[in-house]
Structure 1
Amino acid sequence: MHRITVIGGGLAGLTAAITAAEAGARVTVHEAHHTLGGRARTAEAPYRTNEGPHALYNGGPHWTWLRRRGLLGPLAPIPLLEATRMRFRHRGTLRRTPPFPLLRLSRHRSERAPVDSDFRTWATALIGEEWALAAARYSAVALFHHDPGSLSAAFVQERLRRAMKLPPEAHYPRGGWATVVDRMAARAWNLGVRVETLSRVDTLPTDTPVIVATSLEAARRLLHDPSLTWDSGRTALLDLALRTRKGDPFVVSDLDAPGWIERFTAQDRGLAPHGQQLIQGQFPVAPGESKGQGVARAEELLDLGFPGWRERTVRRREALAQGRTGAVDRPGTTWRDRPAVDRGDGVFLAGDQVAAPGVLSEVSFTSGIEAATLALRLRPGAGGVPRRPARDTGWSHLDLKRA
């Protein structure tokens, strides 16, 4: 039987472990923390917060992968009434509907956005500079980047379409993402996967294929490979528990600067105690900006959308997410240009910043499946894992439907 080592027990690591174990491999997962889940961990009750806003998009292959294994569990779609309570800040005031040019651009199908151009330049030619900037800022909900207009037009266009799709693709696991992680962990356990928590790996084993399912920064240190870099976001995160007030919006999107506030108890009331509501916001900050500047923008948006929020605050938490918000592609690059899954020498990479398609957490799922599939193809002999040069797999060999 194959023996495969997985380093990291987040979404990518658990996906890789399950995929390999389903094929009959003996899998060991090493997780440095005392709980599994990585950035999909959910805080304990009474406030079931994730590390920043989280949503599960139903348009990607990971959705099918989870559903076929019974791992999706109860989901909280966006209630129709709440969907009408979206607000948009534009020119300093709140409006109830997104600007028409933004809708037109999100549904613009006559021309596929180019990879080589930045989004701002491409969109300006179609709807004008003001609306191009507004569209770029709205897309920050799926980018967590301070300047989405500077990114590849094709990259941003895909995320804009999915973020504005009707009916919405975004769904929410009831009880937070930890419920999905728990089901994945149970599936791995039932398949015989050995999980070792509080197990930090500093040296790669030489007798098995290894899947490194950590952050790109941690993988760079572990593999001593300075080439393992890719752009990501830098985002101020704000969690608030407020006493409930009738009429609060479901979402407030900032079209004057990238920023997004969402009332997560609108779809899942169990995330906060009775009589309270859980609000999470993300406000991308530039390299020279501080967390405080991002939080200050959040407070401005709260003043507009949630009157009296300061007096109603029961709990507040702030954080800065740096390099933990998924990959972003600059003009001239696509996901295929990111660090390859196959690193050679029986080492494979999985995570949300590697060469695999998808939006946000979808990249973790698809790269986990890819890494496990490649690791299973190795036939280690008595001398350990065969050595060979690294190559970019290009993803062409993996049939996601079959997976």
Structure 2
Amino acid sequence: MTNQFINITMDKPIDKTKEVAIIGGGLAGLTAAVYISRNGKNVTIIEKSSEFGGRARTTMKDGFYFNQGPHALYADGLGSRILNELNVIYNGKKVDYTKYFVKDKEKIHQSPIKLSQLLATKLLKGFRGKIEIIRFLIKLNKMNLDGLQRISFQEWLDKSFKNSDSKDFVKMLGRISTYTYNAENLSAKLALNQIKTAVAGGVIYIDEGWQTLVDQLTDIAKRNGVKFVYGKNVDFIAQSYDNNGPNRQLKWKIRLSNNTAISYYNVIIATNPSHVYSLLKDNALVNPEFLSHLEKMNRPARVATLDIALSGLPNPNVYGAYGMDVPLYLSLHSEFAKLSVDGNGVLFHAIKYLDSSTELNPIQDKMELEGLLDMVQPGWRKMVVRQRFLPNMIASNTFLNNNKGFMENRPNMEVPGVDNLYIIGDWVGPDGMLADTSFASAKAVALKILSENKEIEIHDGKL
């Protein structure tokens, strides 16, 4: 049985020319590899880490499955459809928000998930504000979002709501759905579409963490013959030709961090905007407007996350809490997914959505997250089995700056100015946000490579 994980440091010979190279072994890179390889193409994934999966990796500690912060699969999102296409099987439950609460001005209120609760809640002070929320929710599914790409979510909120409570409530929904604090830097179209997806189908927490998705995608790719190069970063790519004759073909020469050079006819970069920019900024053929856009996008949405495993649940009446006046989130993921070996463990994920315009203050951020736990789960400190604090984690690379009064579109998958070079990830293409965008852009590029004449359709559940 051949070992398809190739460590270049072992000086094992590899075929220098392949059909498709994918730089980055996260969800997007693995998904693209599966689509392309199952249609007969030779594919190699190059991953700088010793493990695949990127931010979707799950670690096992003290019998608990720790995702890197809270992960949720949108039941009606593009990601769930694409996973089904690829026969990736996962278990878990949809989140039931009956025991979720909203924090506002040091008080907690039951999350108003029903019409009667919206009308009765003291979270929204005035009757007019409640009516604004009800009208918003009724119109949401029929809302035409095409004209909202070039205005910020904050600008749309200011224009759409007269009542401050209703505005803050919808802003909170956007923050939770997009993992983004800075509403002034996010397009209204993306934010509202993400709220719509969340409200329509809800979210699923996955048994044993998102590593189950990573492992299955990796296994399918291996069975399809995908080769894996790991532990080496790509620090340079350039165009070249395979010969000097009339039928010469364009190749991309890739230089790895140990100065090994390998060549491929098609290259997909499945990393972040900063890395893509560093690889392409000196390439005179790449469209300069595209490079300028990349450079300005290099401000991802970040969160501070506190992941806590407990020996028991202090307050069984509260499964989660969201901050309306503060950018905080808390959810009992283990209530809806098996996240411990015995299936009985208690695992909370808490996050603070970070403001990109202010300096980090990890000590203060951790105190705020602990304070939210104190409010809704008093006594939790005595029941801690393990906790992990990640003070500055990238939640999404889709963070679009407001440039001279308008929002910019996310970049397309094809790098303009050159041939056979593509980008994919949670910041690429027109569809979805977060992991949904990673899956969608991966499929779109795969279909593009497989057939220039084939119509790319990522919504019909078919190849």
TM-score tier after normalising by the smaller chain length: 0.7 to 0.9
Output the amino acid matched with 1:105. Answer: F
Equivalent pair of 2:194/2:432 in contact (CA under 8 Å): no
Output the amino acid matched with 1:92. Answer: E
Q: Measure the CA separation in 1 of the matches of 2:437 and 2:139.
A: 25
| Matched residues, number | 380
**Could you tell me which of 266, 270, 275 is aligned with 1:209?**
266
Larger CA deviation: 342-351 vs 150-159: 150-159
Equivalent pair of 1:241/1:272 in contact (CA under 8 Å): no
Equivalent pair of 2:209/2:339 in contact (CA under 8 Å): no
Asked if residue 315 in structure 1 is aligned to residue 386 in structure 2, the reply is yes
Q: What is the SS of the residue equivalent to 2:234?
A: coil
**Could you tell me which of 138, 157, 168 is aligned with 1:107?**
138
Asked if residue 96 in structure 1 is aligned to residue 110 in structure 2, the reply is yes
Equivalent residue number for residue 72 of structure 1: 89
Q: CA deviation at 1:150?
A: 5.5
Equivalent residue number for residue 389 of structure 1: none
Q: Pairwise CA RMSD of aligned residues?
A: 2.7
Q: Measure the CA separation in 2 of the matches of 1:17 and 1:324.
A: 23
Q: Measure the CA separation in 2 of the matches of 1:169 and 1:330.
A: 28
**Could you tell me which of 16, 31, 35 is aligned with 1:15?**
31
Equivalent residue number for residue 385 of structure 1: none
Q: Measure the CA separation in 1 of the matches of 2:100 and 2:204.
A: 16
Q: Measure the CA separation in 2 of the matches of 1:149 and 1:164.
A: 22
Output the amino acid matched with 2:457. Answer: D
> For residues 13-48 of structure 1, what are the alpha-carbon distances to aligned partners after superposition, in whole Å with 9 as ceiling and x for unaligned?
011111111221011111111211111000124221
Larger CA deviation: 198-207 vs 136-145: 198-207
Equivalent residue number for residue 80 of structure 2: 63
Output the amino acid matched with 1:305. Answer: V
Q: What is the SS of the residue equivalent to 2:161?
A: helix
Equivalent pair of 1:248/1:306 in contact (CA under 8 Å): no
Output the amino acid matched with 2:57. Answer: R
Q: 1:223 to 1:47 in 2, by over 3 A?
A: farther
Asked if residue 399 in structure 1 is aligned to residue 457 in structure 2, the reply is yes
Q: What is the SS of the residue equivalent to 1:49?
A: strand
Asked if residue 295 in structure 1 is aligned to residue 366 in structure 2, the reply is yes
Equivalent residue number for residue 364 of structure 1: 438
Q: CA deviation at 1:283?
A: 0.7
Equivalent pair of 2:398/2:433 in contact (CA under 8 Å): no
Equivalent residue number for residue 320 of structure 2: 251
Q: Measure the CA separation in 2 of the matches of 1:307 and 1:102.
A: 32
Q: TM-score, normalised by structure 2?
A: 0.75
**Could you tell me which of 348, 372, 376 is aligned with 1:305?**
376
Q: 1:116 to 1:214 in 2, by over 3 A?
A: closer
Q: What is the SS of the residue equivalent to 1:208?
A: strand
**Could you tell me which of 134, 154, 157 is aligned with 1:123?**
157
Equivalent residue number for residue 397 of structure 2: 326
Equivalent pair of 2:339/2:345 in contact (CA under 8 Å): no
Q: 1:106 to 1:321 in 2, by over 3 A?
A: farther
Q: Measure the CA separation in 2 of the matches of 1:65 and 1:355.
A: 16
Q: CA deviation at 1:102?
A: 4.0
Q: 1:248 to 1:218 in 2, by over 3 A?
A: farther
Q: CA deviation at 1:140?
A: 1.3
Output the amino acid matched with 1:399. Answer: E
Equivalent residue number for residue 425 of structure 2: 351
Q: 1:39 to 1:397 in 2, by over 3 A?
A: same
Q: What is the SS of the residue equivalent to 1:353?
A: coil
Q: CA deviation at 1:154?
A: 2.5
Q: 1:5 to 1:274 in 2, by over 3 A?
A: closer
Equivalent pair of 1:133/1:149 in contact (CA under 8 Å): no
Equivalent pair of 1:90/1:256 in contact (CA under 8 Å): yes
Equivalent residue number for residue 115 of structure 2: none
Equivalent residue number for residue 172 of structure 1: 205
Output the amino acid matched with 2:205. Answer: Y
Output the amino acid matched with 1:16. Answer: A
Equivalent pair of 2:27/2:54 in contact (CA under 8 Å): yes
Equivalent residue number for residue 410 of structure 2: 338
Asked if residue 38 in structure 1 is aligned to residue 25 in structure 2, the reply is no
Q: Measure the CA separation in 1 of the matches of 2:445 and 2:391.
A: 30
The structure number with the bigger radius of gyration is: 2
Equivalent residue number for residue 100 of structure 2: 86
Identity of aligned residues (%): 25
**Could you tell me which of 209, 222, 227 is aligned with 1:194?**
227
Output the amino acid matched with 2:429. Answer: A
Output the amino acid matched with 2:163. Answer: G
Q: What is the SS of the residue equivalent to 1:107?
A: helix
Output the amino acid matched with 1:174. Answer: D
Equivalent residue number for residue 119 of structure 2: none
Q: TM-score, normalised by structure 1?
A: 0.85
**Could you tell me which of 216, 221, 224 is aligned with 1:183?**
216
Equivalent pair of 1:106/1:157 in contact (CA under 8 Å): no
Asked if residue 235 in structure 1 is aligned to residue 303 in structure 2, the reply is yes
Equivalent residue number for residue 382 of structure 1: none
Q: 1:120 to 1:131 in 2, by over 3 A?
A: farther
5+ residue gaps, structure 2: 1-16, 113-123, 125-129, 238-252, 254-262, 283-290
**Could you tell me which of 44, 47, 50 is aligned with 2:67?**
50
Output the amino acid matched with 1:261. Answer: L
Q: 1:330 to 1:207 in 2, by over 3 A?
A: closer
